[in-house]
Amino acid sequence: MTCQVFFCSAECYNGATIPIPQLAKKTFTVAVEGNIGSGKSSFLHYFDTSNSVEVVPEPVELWKSVRGHNTLELMYKDSERWSLTFQSYVQLTMLQVHTQKQTCPVKMIERSLYSARYCFVENLFRSGLMPSVDHAVLTEWFDWIVPNTKVGVDLFVYLRATPETCLERIRSRQRKEEAGVPLEYLETLHQLHDDWLIHQSQFKPCAPVLVVDADKEFCELKKDFERQRTDILCGYV
């Protein structure tokens, strides 16, 4: 069956406009992307009140309890030792998020299989914390999963906050596993997100990208969310 495609405009990072597809179909997946501390949880909580939206948080609790093992904590403590273990499990749990049965018109997920590969795995590899063979294995898995399973995304919402803002928020929320996150790590992740979702230099997003200035206070951000609500929810309200 062929879907009719409509377009509306959203403000892009450089002031240009991008087409946000409004497809004549019943369900959409919106992936909310951004650095650690960029405000993804607040964004999801805001839209969770809509009857058209089901929110699926990042499966952090699963990562913290894998048959008694906190893989997230292990990853932060010794990335070189645990990067493959952790990212393998991230890939599995994000695949489960993408493919779980949808009950509302819009499924809004916190991060995606794509950011796991293009930002976090890539950072580990480039920084020398993941051997090339581990990177190759994860890439082979990713390259098979994408065309063979239902991991499609209709829209990426990129909450773009400066690394300094992210670090301040991380310190404010005081999660044990994030206690030692350095600014340099956030700067690297920030650049990888920009390269993927804005510059599209090495990796290209599989769907349109709506960029939100997430440096603002939440009371101001809510105004932006409302202004772009129709675009964010792919035509639903």
Instruction: Write the CATH number for 204.
Output: 3.40.50.300
Q: Which residues pair with 22 in a beta bridge?
A: 6
Q: What total number of domains does the chain contain?
A: 1
Distances (CA, A) of 121 to 54, 80, 139, 182, 200: 27, 12, 9, 18, 17
Residue 228 lies in a domain: yes
- Whether 41 has a binding-site annotation, put simply, is yes
- Is residue 17 in some structural domain? no
Q: How far is CA 39 from CA 32, 179, 186, 220, 227, in A?
A: 10, 17, 14, 13, 18
- What is the reported pLDDT for 30? 98
Say if residue 112 carries a ligand binding annotation: no
Of 160, 152, 146, which Cα lies nearest the Cα of 210? 160
> Two tokens at 129?
């914390």
Is 43 among the domain residues?
yes
Residue at 15 is within a domain: no
Instruction: Please indicate if the annotation marks 18 as binding a ligand.
Output: no
Annotated ligand binding at 36? The verdict is yes
| pLDDT value, residue 173 | 85
Residue 237 belongs to some domain of the structure? no
Whole-number Å distance between alpha carbons of 62 and 86: 11
Q: Is residue 52 part of a domain?
A: yes
CA distance 68 to 188: 31
The answer as to whether 12 is a domain residue is: no
Is 34 annotated to bind ligand? yes
In a domain, 11, yes or no: no
Sequential pLDDT tens for the chain (237 residues):
222 232 333 444 444 444 555 555 689 999 999 999 999 999 999 999 999 999 999 999 999 999 999 999 999 899 999 999 999 999 999 999 999 999 999 999 999 999 999 999 999 999 999 999 999 999 999 999 999 998 999 999 999 999 999 999 999 888 777 778 899 999 999 999 999 999 999 999 999 999 999 999 999 999 999 999 999 999 887
Q: What is the CA radius of gyration of the chain?
A: 17
Q: Is 111 assigned a ligand-binding role in the annotation?
A: no
Catalytic residues, by residue number, are 110
Show the domain range for 29: 25-232
For 148-189, how does the pLDDT look when each residue is reduced to its tens digit (9 = 90+)?
A: 998 999 999 999 999 999 999 999 888 777 778 899 999 999
In this prediction, residue 9 carries a pLDDT of 36
